[in-house]
């Protein structure tokens, strides 16, 4: 009888450390019935030719064609699922105006389950097509539509972590789009947690409920206290926005005389299962608190260029011991692609390092030691996301989930610039990171199952 459910033969790229990509050239990747990588063998191992002989004529033996490569599936740590319906619009406005004139009216429409299904179905498929195998979602304030998003992830095979958004403060949110009051918001959140936990029992790749205060400005103290307690009671993930922009950061400072990080921590919302979006205005004390509590950052470099008034100092925060992964932040980030965000994280970091105002002398213009390399950006897109969620995902490594994307560099309609037969694998890796579009992503697997898109 076959020991393995699948064996894949080919070349894979995976992070060895946050600074270095490893090239697993022509290896065998052996997957068990739980969708977990049970063994990896290179061509010098005794098992290598024995397994090829034993499996190569079976349907469950997959040999990658010339020009095809395996990458880990991407982890998107920050997606506003309803905002897919406005992606690419209104980005000339500042954050507060964008929320009130475009975003809240759109999100209010998700009371209509038919509309929610149309948008969520398309979004989950689109993210899978872009190589995203795990996504951490903000839904809307509506319990039923939020549950629908979790159900769609479960059905389509994506690992979804989904939050019913909480925003109850009547002085900060419009009447047409807010939780009725703190009590109702907490009751709805608790029911949502129970229903997603139930759904999770029959979902191989996992779906997870996420306690989701939108951000401090939209929530009362009562609801923040209650959400901290619910997260503790059910040991859930927690997500919010933290110190995103000058406006949001200053609002919290005025209300609590402290930064978001310490205010969120006082409400029991900074924990190992917490992922905070943006975090551009964290100081070193905030960063130490993140490291101590195990709270991770979802870095959204494209969105930050529009709304965050600054560049996240990723290298510095990593040195302080903070886990960081990438987020598209649809729709403040107007792309479903983590590839695009990985590249933007490099570009933004180079601008941070060099500075941007040429009227200032070069020696004073930038922030030294800020630049990220392509290997570091790849890490953020994959293993950094997995570590932020404390899940065994984002690496091609024994005991990790078989969450992968197969890239075909030879697609004739979207040819990659690879012209020499002896091109080095590391150069191919870099070209894949810069040039991959959905048409190159031939297959996506999550927890050992191929997904359809």
Ligand X SMILES: O=c1[nH]c(=O)c2nc[nH]c2[nH]1
Q: How far is the CB of 89 from ligand X (least distance, A)?
A: 14
Contacts of 446 (CB under 8 A, 6+ apart): 35, 73, 133, 134, 157, 158, 159, 205, 401, 403
Distance CA 264, CA 40 (A): 42
- CB-wise, 7 or 263, nearer to ligand X? 263
Residue with the shortest CB distance to ligand X: 332
**H or E segment at 150?**
helix 143-156
Q: How far is the CB of 303 from ligand X (least distance, A)?
A: 5
- CB-wise, 27 or 164, nearer to ligand X? 164
Q: How far is the CB of 421 from ligand X (least distance, A)?
A: 45
Q: How far is the CB of 368 from ligand X (least distance, A)?
A: 28
Going through 318-425 in order, the beta strands assigned E by DSSP cover 324-326, 404-408
Dmax (CA) of the chain: 71
- CB-wise, 80 or 440, nearer to ligand X? 80
| Residue 134, strand partner residues | 75, 159
- CB-wise, 277 or 404, nearer to ligand X? 277
- CB-wise, 99 or 123, nearer to ligand X? 99
Contacts of 117 (CB under 8 A, 6+ apart): 148, 152
Distance CA 302, CA 300 (A): 6
- CB-wise, 27 or 80, nearer to ligand X? 80
Q: How many CA atoms lie within 13 A of 384 on its CB side?
A: 30
**H or E segment at 298?**
strand 296-299
Q: How many contiguous H segments (helices) and E segments (strands) does the chain have?
A: 17, 17
Distance CA 72, CA 406 (A): 9
Q: How far is the CB of 277 from ligand X (least distance, A)?
A: 7
Q: How far is the CB of 226 from ligand X (least distance, A)?
A: 19
Interacting residues with ligand X (CB under 6 A): 80, 95, 99, 103, 214-215, 241, 244, 303, 307, 329, 332
């Amino acid at each position: 009888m076959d020991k393995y459910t699948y064996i894949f033969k080919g070349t894979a790229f995976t992070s060895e450390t946050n600074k270095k990509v490893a090239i697993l050239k022509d290896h065998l990747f052996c997957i068990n019935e739980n969708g977990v990588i049970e063994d990896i063998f290179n061509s010098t191992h005794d098992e290598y030719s024995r397994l090829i002989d034993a499996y190569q004529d079976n349907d469950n033996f997959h040999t990658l064609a010339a020009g095809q490569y395996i990458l880990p599936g991407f982890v998107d740590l920050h997606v506003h699922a309803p905002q897919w319906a406005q992606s690419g619009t209104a980005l000339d406005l500042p954050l507060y105006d964008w929320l009130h004139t475009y975003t809240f009216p759109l999100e209010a429409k998700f009371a209509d389950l038919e509309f929610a299904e149309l948008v969520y179905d398309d979004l989950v498929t689109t993210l899978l097509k872009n190589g995203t195998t795990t996504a951490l979602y903000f839904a809307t304030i509506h319990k039923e539509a939020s549950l629908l998003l979790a159900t769609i992830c479960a059905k389509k095979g994506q690992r979804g972590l989904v939050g019913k958004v909480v925003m109850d403060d009547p002085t900060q949110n419009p009447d047409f789009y807010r939780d009725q009051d703190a009590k109702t918001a907490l009751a709805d959140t608790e029911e949502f947690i129970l229903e997603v936990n139930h759904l999770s029992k029959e979902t191989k790749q996992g779906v997870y409920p996420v306690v989701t205060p939108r951000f401090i400005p939209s929530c009362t103290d009562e609801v923040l206290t209650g959400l901290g307690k619910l997260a503790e009671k059910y040991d859930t993930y927690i997500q919010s926005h933290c110190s995103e922009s000058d406006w949001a950061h200053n609002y919290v400072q005025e209300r609590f005389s402290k930064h978001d990080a310490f205010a969120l921590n006082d409400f029991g919302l900074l924990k190992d299962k917490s992922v905070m979006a943006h975090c551009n205005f964290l100081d070193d004390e905030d960063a130490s608190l993140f490291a101590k509590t195990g709270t991770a950052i979802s870095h959204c470099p494209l969105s930050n260029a529009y709304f965050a008034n600054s560049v996240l100092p990723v290298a510095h925060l990593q040195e302080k011991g903070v886990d960081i992964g990438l987020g598209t932040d649809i729709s403040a980030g107007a792309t479903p692609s983590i590839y695009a965000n990985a590249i933007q994280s490099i570009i933004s970091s180079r601008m941070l390092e060099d500075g941007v105002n040429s009227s200032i002398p070069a020696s004073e213009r930038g922030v030294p030691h800020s630049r990220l390399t392509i290997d570091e950006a790849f890490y953020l897109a994959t293993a950094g996301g997995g570590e932020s969620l404390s899940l065994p995902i984002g690496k091609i490594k024994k005991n990790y989930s078989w969450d992968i994307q197969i890239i075909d560099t030879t697609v004739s309609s979207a040819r990659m610039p690879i012209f020499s037969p002896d091109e080095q694998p590391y150069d191919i890796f870099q070209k894949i990171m810069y040039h991959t579009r959905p048409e190159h992503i031939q297959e996506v697997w999550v927890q050992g199952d191929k997904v359809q898109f």
